[in-house]
Structure 1
Amino acid sequence: VEVMGRDTGWIAGSSGILKEVVPGINQLIYLPETAFEEEKFIEDEKGALNKNNKLLIVTSEGLRGSNGDYINVDSNCYEVDSFGHKQLGGIGKYLQSVVKEYITKNVKLQEAGVVQRCAMHCSAKVDLDEAEMVGRYGVTSALEGKSGFMVSIERQKDTKGYYKSLPGLVDVDEVCNKVKHVPLDWIDSENSNVTEQMRDYIRPLIWGNEEVLSEDGLLKYKNAYRFR
């Protein structure tokens, strides 16, 4: 499964939470924070398949080799965005070809694509609540005359030790074109997975379910163009 993540592996790493619902899951996770080595990848797959012939591989789109270059990126055939970043995609097909050549032909590729940005019916209540929180805080701050800031989410705990968050403001120069990396000690590089610290971080971010409005089997959404 190829997911978003040019320079950081928060989305791919969050799949490690699957261990909570499928304790014996046979899973390997690859993040941009650690250098990718094809030889180790092949060894990982062979070792995992020797334990169980059902294996889930989750990879960020922006894996890099030990030389710092993106894996399977040809600078002559990729477009760039306004920051000069290469428009990535294709690491899944590359890894699929490696598996087919060296391990087994029985491999399926799933590219999450645009769906991972817009599948609102899969959103956690925490996610929706925080989206509303930062939206309101942004509008309030703008009405107060504040400009040049990004609304941040400050992670805290309540009096009982449970997760809670508060909005804040960060100077846009401190975050524009910057990357927040997954801490290296949250990555189990030896076993190509994530640690319990990563799962602890992700767990409260997916709490809760929100009722999804639908009609005749189709989801109902607000038309944003009406508010222009």
Structure 2
Amino acid sequence: MLPLLARRQPAGGRAPPAAPWRGETGFDVEVELRSRLRRPASRTPLTRIPLPESRLGGRSVDGSRIADIIEIEQMLARYAVGMTKDDVEAVVAVFAPDGSYSAFGERYGVADFPELVAAAPKGVFSVSTPAITFDGEDAARGEQPLCFVAQTDHSMRIGYYTDTYTRTPQGWRLQTRAMTFLRRSGARDSGRAHDPRRPAPRRTSAS
């Protein structure tokens, strides 16, 4: 709560009528607000501002990681947009060349993605901000909640991804991504194994 400033008294001791922004009390708060909102002439560079401790691993993340965090978040956003738009090339592009996706009791390599995405239901892939922990300069891991809404009947599937990320010459990419579904029963699983709608992974790509 802002401290109240003294009421201004003109010569003669009679207070002027309160301006609309002063309210019924007539106290002058505009000067106080302006002084509090005034920004300093120089700012500390963003890379020098320490971030709170990560809840995954309990480590402090220094500000030099901000660019990496933003890049990983954008990479994962491209995955969600690619899945939503049924754009297989965009989905493949966010994985490392030897990356993999695990669900339905199988592990799929990048070469499997066209068939895997084609067999997946169509709809909106809505993801939350990932929780990221760095493991050295060029590796990281994270978890990201997912809510999928099917296009045809608006049924939902909810769960989360468990990921590892790697820095490549082209930037940060998904190394592994595993899906965990949250069921109405309270169960958690990676999907029905050998779902007939899912293709069998190519052993050469998923090995």
Q: Normalising TM by the smaller chain, what interval? A: under 0.3
For CA contacts below 8 A with separation 6 or more, give which structure has more relative contact order: 1
TM-score, normalised by the number of residues in structure 2: 0.21
TM-score, normalised by the number of residues in structure 1: 0.20
In terms of fraction of residues, the more helix-rich structure is 1
